């Protein structure tokens, strides 16, 4: 039976570089044509290249990833995918950063399987916990920055002179919102938001 070696690489955004993972897979070695790359969040498994990979692998093949969180960062999903690949598809997994997670060596007997499953559970938990900690630190950082007066998002466009007159013309039906925005040199959405915000302010 022919045994093929595949690799899977994931980075969270299109701006992130996959070089570090690719180098590790090449050194394994994984044939370059057998490496599947997704540049998407790890929040779920609805990823085009991962889906292609799952369709391609067959019993006896080997799947190589650099670290366990490349499969995903959710504890339950990582567990489910591990079982799908190793149990249902009959494919071995090698996690380069964690030699104990190598079902070629440790998954053929009861003790090896127990150790591999135990390590997997621990690492999956750690991966999810770290993700949640990162999100919490980001939230706390944003809140602290806001208290210091740091503003997030696009800077507000200053309201130009003549807004009141143009707004009155719009309210009286003399011009439409698109024309009002054109005269002010802003987008239609910006004009309507200004008009709405001013109405709310007048009512307070």
Question: Is 177 assigned a catalytic role?
Answer: no
SS3 72: coil
Six token digits for residue 165: 């007159």
d(CA 181, CA 166): 9
Q: What is the dihedral of CA 15, 21, 25, 28, to 10 degrees?
A: 160
Distance in Å from the first CA to the final CA of the chain: 77
Q: What is the rounded distance in angstroms from the CA atom of residue 83 to the CA atom of residue 161?
A: 65
For 62, other C-beta atoms within 10 Å of its C-beta total 20
Under a CB-based contact definition with an 8 Å cutoff, are residues 50 and 7 in contact? Answer: no
The C-alpha atoms of residue 7 and residue 41 are separated, in whole angstroms, by 18
Tell me the two tokens of residue 22. 């690719």
Compute, in degrees rounded to 10, the torsion defined by CA atoms 115, 116, 120, 121. -40
Considering the candidates 12, 106, 124, 172, report the single residue annotated as catalytic.
Answer: 12
Known catalytic residues are: 12
């Amino acid at each position: 039976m022919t045994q093929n070696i595949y690799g899977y690489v994931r980075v969270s955004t299109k701006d992130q570089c996959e070089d570090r993972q690719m180098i590790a897979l090449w050194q394994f070695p994984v044939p370059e044509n057998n490496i599947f790359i997704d540049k998407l969040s790890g929040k779920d498994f609805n990823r085009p290249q991962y889906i292609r990979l799952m369709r391609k692998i067959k019993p006896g093949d080997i799947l190589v990833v650099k670290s366990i969180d490349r499969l995903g960062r959710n504890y339950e999903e990582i567990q489910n995918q591990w079982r799908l690949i190793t149990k249902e598809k009959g494919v071995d997994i090698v996690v380069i950063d964690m030699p104990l997670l190598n079902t070629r060596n440790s998954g053929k007997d009861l003790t090896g399987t127990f150790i591999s499953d135990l390590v997997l559970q621990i690492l999956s938990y750690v991966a999810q916990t770290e993700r949640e900690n990162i999100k919490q630190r980001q939230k706390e950082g944003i809140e602290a920055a806001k208290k210091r007066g740091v503003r997030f998002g696009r800077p507000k466009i200053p309201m130009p002179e003549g807004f009141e007159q143009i707004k009155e013309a719009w309210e009286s039906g003399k011009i439409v919102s698109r024309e009002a925005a054109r005269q002010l040199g802003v987008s239609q959405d910006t004009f309507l938001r200004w008009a709405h915000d001013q109405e709310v302010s007048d009512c307070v």
